[in-house]
Structure 1
Amino acid sequence: MKKQLLAAGIIAFSISLPSKASAASFRSYVFGDSLSDIGKAFALTGQGIPPAPYFNGRFSNGPVWVEYLSPAFGAKQTNYAIGGANTGDTNTLIPGNPLKLPGLAQQVEEFTATNPKVDEDALYILWAGANDYLGGGQTNPGIPVGNITNAVTSLAKLGAKNFLVANLPDLGKLPGTINKDFSTGLSTLTAFHNTLLNSSLTTLSQQLGLKMIQLDVNDLFSQAIATKVFANTTEPCLNLAAKTICSNPNDYLFWDDIHPTNFHGDARILRF
């Protein structure tokens, strides 16, 4: 499933690439949260978050999905994603955000401040929203979705044309939420978020003439859970409370309470 979905995304984007774009010059830019963070939070917290046994500052036990995606295109990548980022200008990694870590909106602002005109052939990847609901207490999906579409619009105004935007997995079925009283509410918010995101991005891409890939992470995780291709889809491999690690991470869908495992090259699901 992993290789199939990744290949589908590559094919879809390749078809939409401008003819003048080439693998040698192709670039991608990443904006988002811990699911796409390749070490920024680790660096900005003095190499404190996430600690070992997390892998090299990633919020997983190995490289995250964007580290596989861009090389598949032969692309150079610049990554602004950071753990704890909300879709706006807040960050929930550390309560109160004493280090003033950025949200998605600030990541885009940082990029646009130094790029008054952007590469229209590049791929702009955005994945955020989970922290708005899990850590930010957001109950109105219109706000996170509005922030995401504003981010896309800001990039598009500078010339960006090609986007990959991911939706959210069912936040009520994470190990840290599945048995909680609020799990049903999170599942409902996820559904509303994804529906609104889909319609908003479709409209935006038509209005601005964008080439938009909407990555359906929700369906991917739902299939992984429903088909039971992983032996354990409800518990984390890394139990932070007990300070234990499972002996077989490849059999676990989740590394910790909210982040997926790397799967070590397993072909059953896209590496997140």
Structure 2
Amino acid sequence: MRRQFLAAGLALFSSIMAVALAHPIQSSNMIQISHQINRLYVFGDSLSDVGNVYHASGKIYPPNPPYFQGRYSNGLVWVEYLSSKLALTPEQNANFAYGGATTGNGSVNGIPGLLAQVQAFTKVHQEVNPNALYVLWAGANDYLYGGANPTLTASNISKAMESLSKMGAKKILVVNLPDLGKVPATRTSANSTTLSSFAIAHNQTLVKSVEELKQELGSDTQIEILDVYSLYQEATKYPSRFGLTNVTNACSNNLAICDNPEKYLFWDGIHPTTVAHRVIAEAAFKVIKTEFSFSATTPQALRGHL
């Protein structure tokens, strides 16, 4: 999520890489949903970036090691775990998330914002896949960089969702923000309280924006919010529920790496460990199973959009 400085000549989307996934995990629920969701499109920042900044920077940033193959973590990130649970192949994934992205329609240090990512996507697609899941997670950098306000940030996210819906997207999962004042990098800083209040205001405004957008678009478009704010709060209050023992410190601190990263919530000062990413994916999959409705579309009907 932090500001990244890239070499000149960053090509925004010409070399987006397919997501590298673990072998799909099979279950009856996963198979049923995979028959309905046949692609995954991801837009956002470093929490969902699977190597776009890494490849654009000539495999310089984030450094590997200690970061894992272009992820801002020590392993796979949540959208990769989610894709696996949906039984999707690498070819059924498209990830446009860039570490350092804001929600805007421009770029910061060559990094395209959320709206810019979506706009670039819709420009090259006359219509989008109605059987795909569209994931959006951004906003933290707007506040971490300073000068943002929840109304504008939530509005940018709403515009991105509306653009996708108008192009034919039917299932959209948008993620809210964790407590930005309680991550290791900000916990003891002078603006910790301010960042916490921004996160709360952002999430409240996002809920309102989503409800308004649902009314505007009608029941044909499903939009659901993944509440990671509450998930982080629960993990912080009851770490043993998630197999964690340290939910306040970063496992990776400069060149020093902790001995048991699987017990940590945070990999560095801002980003979660791959264990935490797996927990987020579990929560996302639960939302998909319980909140999204699925029609009786046959696998044959889906193949035209693979």
Confirm or deny a common fold (TM above 0.5): yes
Structure 1 residue ranges without an equivalent (≥5) = 1-9
Partners of 2:267 and 2:106 in 1: how far apart? 25
Structure 2 residue ranges without an equivalent (≥5) = 1-27, 283-306
TM-score (norm 2): 0.76
- Name the SS for the 2:112 alignment partner: coil
CA contact (8 A) 2:43 2:118 kept: yes
CA contact (8 A) 1:139 1:189 kept: no
Partner residue in 1 for 2:48: 36
Partners of 1:162 and 1:258 in 2: how far apart? 29
CA contact (8 A) 1:231 1:251 kept: yes
Query: What is the aligned counterpart of 2:269 among 225, 234, 257?
Result: 257
1:133 aligns with 2:143: yes
Query: What is the aligned counterpart of 2:70 among 11, 32, 57?
Result: 57
Partner residue in 1 for 2:230: 219
Measure how far apart 1:90 and its partner are.
4.4
Partners of 2:195 and 2:143 in 1: how far apart? 8
Task: Identify if the C-alpha distance between structure 1 residues 265 and 220 changes in structure 2 by more than 3 Å, giving closer, same or farther.
Answer: closer
| Superposition pairs of residues 230-245 of structure 1, within 5 angstroms | 230-240=244-254, 243-245=255-257
Partners of 2:31 and 2:144 in 1: how far apart? 34
Q: Deviations over 1:70-112 (max 9, x none)?
A: 22122321110010000003455xxxx1xx2211111101110
Measure how far apart 1:232 and its partner are.
1.3
| RMSD, aligned α-carbons | 2.3
Measure how far apart 1:113 and its partner are.
1.0
Partners of 1:178 and 1:101 in 2: how far apart? 26
Partners of 1:114 and 1:255 in 2: how far apart? 36
TM-score (norm 1): 0.85
Task: Identify if the C-alpha distance between structure 1 residues 139 and 117 changes in structure 2 by more than 3 Å, giving closer, same or farther.
Answer: closer
1:247 aligns with 2:263: no
Measure how far apart 1:147 and its partner are.
0.4
Partner residue in 2 for 1:5: none
Measure how far apart 1:264 and its partner are.
8.4
Measure how far apart 1:138 and its partner are.
3.0
Question: For residue 215 of structure 2, what is the amino acid of its counterpart?
Answer: Q
Question: For residue 80 of structure 1, what is the amino acid of its counterpart?
Answer: F
Partner residue in 2 for 1:193: 202
1:147 aligns with 2:156: yes
4+ aligned runs moved over 6 Å, structure 1: none
| Superposition pairs of residues 23-172 of structure 1, within 5 angstroms | 26-51=38-63, 52-75=65-88, 76-92=92-108, 97=109, 100-135=110-145, 137-172=146-181
